[in-house]
């Protein structure tokens, strides 16, 4: 695997020197101070050793040949190491854009006097990290456990349990896992930081996003309200305009009809002024009635006169009848006497009758009639005493004639009286006709008055109707103004769509309640729209979308980081488990071989490694007295039990025992996970002859797995090497390398 190494200007190697490692065991021999350890250091150096102490120098200039009397000091020191890569085992864990597809891998490191240092892999300059990465792929750890410098054989024994663990991990090839673990932990830390950063950013934009979301929701709601409002406006305005137009037309028609009716009523009212007054008719009536009454009174007087005449004649008739009766019964002489007396009686009766005729006083007439009747009665008495004597037949005849004439008179009077009475009757009926005429005129006037007042009422009614309709018209006109204002207001709220109502055909009958309900809805929507901020928020929406996208991006980022974080955590957990498992397995494997080698070295006894957890006692910051146990990482304890000895503490081992234990452990570790090569610088220095043989046996075993480069003064060790390099200090003051034969080597070594 390891093919060769070339030193140029490194430490005592002033000139270019090359060593080839073609055999399992190569020994480097030479006298003290010739530069053997410098070769070992050159290997450490080229593989990336950073500790100046382990290179036995203070500064990088100590690594460059200092110069001699003959040779000057160069500006730089360079070491190149060549590995075989036919089986292409070398690899990088990350893509470096450096091809490793070669049969050889040449790693070179140069150091300059000014302190600068460069690394190359097959001529390409790389970082130290890349060298470590490349070497770990072939199990060459950076801890240098496979290069045991002079006096460092017991390094494992004297190291702390944690250092031991690191060395063993490195030897077990767990360093790559450790790198992976560290890298994962670094990535985890970065993820946590990024996550924090992303979350901070999200938290920062959250209130703004919330605000924008609310605004956009508002604007979307406003949009939908506006759409609703637009449709409602079209519906309402169409109906309202239809309503206004119809109502106005209807009211105008109504008013013109009413006005027509009013003018008819008014003109008919004016005709009532020409009617005859009732008072005049009454005066006329009274005049006519009085005339009739006068006439009737006149006729009545004449009737009364006739009645008196009739009574007088009736009295005469009665007298004549009684005379007739008396004369019929009396003698003739008596009649003569009687005639004389009768003559005076008639004369005095005539006087009384004349007085009756003249009198108009009824009482006087009655007393005169009484006086006449008295006279008649006294005459009758005289007659009976026989004082009256008349010629009987003549007298009787005369009397009868007188009675007939008087009866004739009476019937004449009766005729005349009935005629007068008829006249009175006619006049009475004329009078009552006049009254009834007046009454009927009165009642006809009443009717007309009623008609008049009815018409007046009608007029008032019409006027108030007209006023009412005029009021309605002005209210419709007000509504028309409101309508226009509504359109203006609406155009601000919904733009030109406000005119959509004009395209809406409206044949349906207008339901006023429906219209009121629409108007109410309209107002409600307007208020809602105003409360939502009215205007559309396109800019706001754009900003919201941008912020949302940003937030979603951050959310996605956060999720991605969260995912990768949990993946990393899984990897870390997994890696830790692998390390733990491999470490424990490795330690178990090492223990087996360690025990074997230990027994070989000491002819018995017992030795083993133990994985322990170190707990460090730490002082608390607050209270110096209070202490607490802090669990630390696991480490490795070494237990030894020498045969026939009770010694168990490493500290109590002799130098040789210590050396043998170290070698046994070192070889055990190396055999479990063999590195490509192992460099042993005088590890065998403290061994006696018997132990040197055992050491030699172990070298041979070990060389089956790893190439061995041993720096030695030990003859036994030299005998196990196939190639021997002798190092000598030349006359020019620089070290020189040359292959030597065994015998020569034994000589050189001394
Ligand atoms: P030993 O058998 O005693 O261990 P060694 O062969 O291992 O000896 P080294 O320790 O390799 O010897 O070499 C040490 C020698 O290298 C010293 O003499 C020292 O002066 C020389 N040396 C170290 N650094 C330089 C340098 N920068 N320039 C010149 N010579 C140096």
Q: Which residues contact 221 (CB under 8 A, 6 or more apart)?
A: 532
Please, which pLDDT band fits residue 226 given cuts at 50, 70 and 90?
A: confident
322 token code pair? 């009684």
Neighbour count for residue 257 (Cβ, 10 Å):
13
- How far apart are alpha carbons 569 and 189 in whole angstroms? 10
- How far apart are alpha carbons 76 and 64 in whole angstroms? 6
Please state which CATH class domain 1-140+712-750 belongs to. Answer: alpha beta
Answer yes or no: is pLDDT of 621 > 80. no
Interval 58-101: pLDDT, tens? 888 899 999 888 899 999 999 999 999 999 999 988 778 888 99
Beta strands in 225-332 (DSSP E): none
Interval 668-681: pLDDT, tens? 988 888 889 999 99
403 token code pair? 């009675």
- How far apart are alpha carbons 174 and 142 in whole angstroms? 11
CA of 56 to the centre of ligand 1 (A): 10
CA of 33 to the centre of ligand 1 (A): 5
Question: Rounded to whole angstroms, what are the CA distances from 231 to 39, 234, 569, 636?
Answer: 97, 5, 60, 86
- How far apart are alpha carbons 106 and 124 in whole angstroms? 10
Tell me which of 78-82, 289-293, 369-373, 517-521 is least confident: 369-373
CA of 700 to the centre of ligand 1 (A): 29
Neighbour count for residue 53 (Cβ, 10 Å):
9
CA of 3 to the centre of ligand 1 (A): 24
Give me the DSSP letters along 158-185.
HS-HHHHHHHHHHHTT-HHHHHHHHHHH
Show the ligand 1 pocket: residues with CB < 6 angstroms.
11-12, 30, 32-38, 62, 65-66, 150
Q: Which amino acid residue places its CA nearest to atom 29 of ligand 1?
A: 12
| Per-residue pLDDT, 325 | 83
| Per-residue pLDDT, 389 | 47
CA of 128 to the centre of ligand 1 (A): 26
Sheet holding 25-29, edge to edge: 147-148, 677-681, 707-711, 25-29, 723-729, 735-740
Map residue 290 onto helix, strand or coil.
helix
**Is residue 5 a contact partner of residue 81, using CB atoms and an 8 Å limit?**
yes
Q: What is the CA radius of gyration of the chain?
A: 85
Query: Can you give the length of the chain in residues?
Result: 750
In a mutational test of the pocket of ligand 1, which residue from 8, 9, 29, 35 has the highest number of ligand atoms less than 8 Å from its CB?
35
Tell me which of 319-333, 360-374, 593-607 is least confident: 319-333
Residue extent(s) of CATH 3.40.50.300 domains in the chain: 1-140+712-750
Give me the DSSP letters along 213-232.
HHHHHHHHHHHHHHHHHHHH
Q: Which is the closest atom of ligand 1 to the Cα of 40?
A: 11
Interval 187-219: pLDDT, tens? 899 999 999 999 999 999 999 999 888 888 888
Q: Which amino acid residue places its CA nearest to atom 18 of ligand 1?
A: 33
Interval 410-455: pLDDT, tens? 899 889 999 999 999 999 999 999 999 888 888 888 888 888 889 8
Q: Which is the closest atom of ligand 1 to the Cα of 64?
A: 27
| Per-residue pLDDT, 348 | 83
Give me the DSSP letters along 599-622.
HHHHTS-EEEEEEEEEEEEEE-SS
**Is residue 666 a contact partner of residue 148, using CB atoms and an 8 Å limit?**
yes
Q: Which is the closest atom of ligand 1 to the Cα of 41?
A: 11
The helix or strand, by DSSP H or E, that contains position 552, with its residue range, turns out to be: helix 538-602
Question: Rounded to whole angstroms, what are the CA distances from 114 to 64, 270, 337, 346, 652?
Answer: 11, 140, 229, 216, 46
Question: Residue 330: which of 384, 294, 394, 410 has the closest Cα?
Answer: 384
Interval 502-554: pLDDT, tens? 887 766 677 888 889 999 999 999 888 888 775 556 778 888 899 999 999 99
> What is the mean predicted confidence (pLDDT) over 304-310?
87
Q: Which residues are paired to 610 by β-bridges?
A: 637
Q: Which amino acid residue places its CA nearest to atom 24 of ligand 1?
A: 11
CA of 11 to the centre of ligand 1 (A): 7
Percent of the chain past pLDDT 90, that is, above it, reads 38
Q: Which amino acid residue places its CA nearest to atom 9 of ligand 1?
A: 35
Q: Which amino acid residue places its CA nearest to atom 3 of ligand 1?
A: 32
CA of 729 to the centre of ligand 1 (A): 9
Residue 144: φ, ψ to 5°:
70, 30
pTM of this prediction? 0.56
| Per-residue pLDDT, 13 | 95
Which is more confident, 655 or 717?
717
Average model confidence (pLDDT) for the chain? Answer: 86
Q: Which amino acid residue places its CA nearest to atom 2 of ligand 1?
A: 32
677 token code pair? 């090569």
Q: Which amino acid residue places its CA nearest to atom 15 of ligand 1?
A: 33
Answer yes or no: is pLDDT of 629 > 70. no
Interval 95-149: pLDDT, tens? 788 889 999 999 999 999 888 889 999 999 999 989 988 998 888 877 777 888 8
Q: Which is the closest atom of ligand 1 to the Cα of 63?
A: 27
Please, which pLDDT band fits residue 556 given cuts at 50, 70 and 90?
A: very high
CA of 13 to the centre of ligand 1 (A): 9
Query: Phi/psi zone of residue 604: left (φ > 0), alpha (ψ -120 to 50 degrees), beta?
Result: left
Question: Residue 82: which of 677, 492, 671, 711 has the closest Cα?
Answer: 677
CA of 64 to the centre of ligand 1 (A): 12
Whether the CA torsion 345, 347, 350, 355 is positive or negative: it is negative
Angle (deg, nearest 10), helices 655-672 and 161-171: 40
CA of 131 to the centre of ligand 1 (A): 27
Question: Residue 21: which of 730, 710, 745 has the closest Cα?
Answer: 710
> What is the mean predicted confidence (pLDDT) over 363-373?
84
Q: Which amino acid residue places its CA nearest to atom 26 of ligand 1?
A: 11
Question: Residue 109: which of 135, 128, 136 has the closest Cα?
Answer: 128
| Per-residue pLDDT, 292 | 93
Neighbour count for residue 351 (Cβ, 10 Å):
11
| Per-residue pLDDT, 338 | 57
| Per-residue pLDDT, 20 | 94
89 token code pair? 């085992």
| β-strands 25-29, 707-711 pairing | parallel
Residue 511: φ, ψ to 5°:
-100, 115
């Amino acid at each position: 695997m390891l093919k060769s190494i070339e030193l140029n200007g490194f430490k005592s190697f002033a000139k270019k020197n090359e060593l080839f490692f073609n055999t399992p065991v190569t020994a480097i021999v030479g006298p003290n101070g010739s530069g053997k350890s410098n070769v070992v250091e050159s290997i450490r150096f080229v593989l990336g050793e950073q500790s100046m102490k382990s290179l036995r120098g203070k500064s990088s200039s100590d690594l460059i040949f200092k110069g001699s009397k003959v040779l000057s000091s160069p500006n730089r020191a360079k070491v190149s190491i060549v590995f075989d890569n036919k089986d292409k085992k070398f690899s990088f864990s990350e893509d470096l854009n450096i091809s490793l597809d070669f049969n050889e891998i040449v790693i070179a490191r140069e150091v300059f006097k000014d302190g600068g240092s460069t690394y190359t892999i097959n001529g390409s300059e790389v970082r130290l990290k890349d060298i470590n990465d490349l070497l770990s792929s072939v199990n060459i750890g950076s801890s240098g456990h496979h290069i045991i410098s002079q006096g460092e054989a017991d390094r494992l024994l004297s190291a702390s349990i944690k250092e031991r663990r690191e060395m063993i991990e490195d030897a077990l090839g767990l360093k790559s896992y450790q790198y992976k673990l560290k890298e994962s932990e670094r990535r985890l830390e970065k993820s946590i930081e990024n996550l924090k950063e992303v979350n901070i950013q999200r938290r920062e934009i959250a209130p703004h996003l919330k605000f924008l979301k609310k605004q956009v929701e508002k604007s979307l709601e406003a949009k939908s309200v506006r759409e609703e409002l637009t449709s409602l406006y079209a519906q309402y305005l169409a109906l309202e305009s239809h309503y206004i137009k119809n109502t106005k037309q209807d009211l105008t028609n109504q008013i013109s009809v009413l006005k027509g009716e009013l003018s008819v009523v008014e003109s008919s009212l004016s005709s009532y002024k020409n009617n005859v007054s009732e008072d005049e008719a009454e005066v006329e009536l009274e005049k006519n009635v009085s005339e009739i009454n006068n006439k009737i009174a006149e006729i009545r007087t004449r009737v009364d006169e006739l009645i008196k005449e009739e009574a007088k004649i009736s009295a005469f008739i009665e007298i004549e009848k009684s005379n007739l009766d008396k004369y019929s019964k009396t003698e003739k002489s008596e009649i003569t006497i009687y005639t004389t007396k009768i003559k005076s009686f008639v004369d005095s009766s005539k006087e009384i009758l004349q007085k009756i005729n003249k009198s108009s006083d009824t009482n006087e007439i009655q007393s005169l009639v009484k006086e006449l009747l008295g006279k008649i009665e006294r005459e009758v008495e005289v007659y009976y005493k026989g004082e009256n004597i008349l010629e009987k037949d003549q007298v009787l005849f005369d009397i009868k004639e007188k009675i007939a004439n008087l009866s004739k008179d009476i019937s004449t009077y009766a005729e005349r009286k009935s005629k007068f009475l008829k006249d009175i009757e006619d006049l009475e009926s004329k009078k009552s006709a006049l009254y009834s005429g007046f009454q009927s005129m009165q009642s006809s006037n009443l009717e007309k008055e009623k008609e008049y007042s009815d018409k007046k009422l009608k007029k008032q009614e019409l006027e108030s109707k007209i006023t009412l309709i005029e009021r309605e018209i002005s209210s419709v006109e007000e509504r028309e103004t409101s309508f226009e204002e509504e359109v203006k207001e609406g155009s601000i709220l919904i733009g030109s769509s406000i005119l959509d109502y004009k395209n809406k055909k409206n044949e349906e009958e207008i339901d006023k309640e429906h219209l009121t309900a629409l108007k109410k809805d309209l107002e409600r929507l307007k208020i809602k729209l105003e409360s939502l901020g009215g205007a559309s928020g396109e800019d706001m929406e754009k900003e919201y979308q941008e912020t949302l996208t940003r937030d979603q991006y951050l959310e996605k980022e956060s999720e991605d980081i969260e995912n990768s974080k949990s993946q990393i955590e899984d990897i870390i957990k997994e890696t830790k488990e692998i390390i733990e498992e491999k470490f424990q397995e490795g330690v178990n494997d090492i223990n087996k071989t360690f025990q074997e080698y230990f027994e070989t070295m000491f002819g018995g006894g017992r030795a083993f490694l133990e994985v322990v957890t170190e707990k460090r006692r730490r002082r608390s910051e607050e209270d110096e007295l209070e202490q607490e146990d802090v669990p630390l990482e696991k480490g490795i304890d070494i237990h030894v039990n020498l045969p026939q000895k009770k010694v168990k503490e490493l500290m109590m081992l002799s130098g040789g025992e210590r050396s043998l234990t170290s070698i046994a452990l070192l070889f055990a570790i190396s055999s479990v996970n063999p590195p490509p090569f192992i460099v042993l610088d005088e590890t065998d220095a403290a061994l006696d002859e018997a132990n040197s043989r055992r050491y030699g046996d172990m070298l041979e075993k070990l060389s089956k797995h790893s190439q061995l480069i041993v720096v030695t003064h030990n003859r036994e060790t030299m005998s196990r090497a196939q190639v021997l390099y002798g190092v000598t200090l030349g006359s020019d003051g620089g070290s020189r390398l040359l292959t030597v034969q065994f015998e020569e080597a034994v000589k050189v070594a001394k």
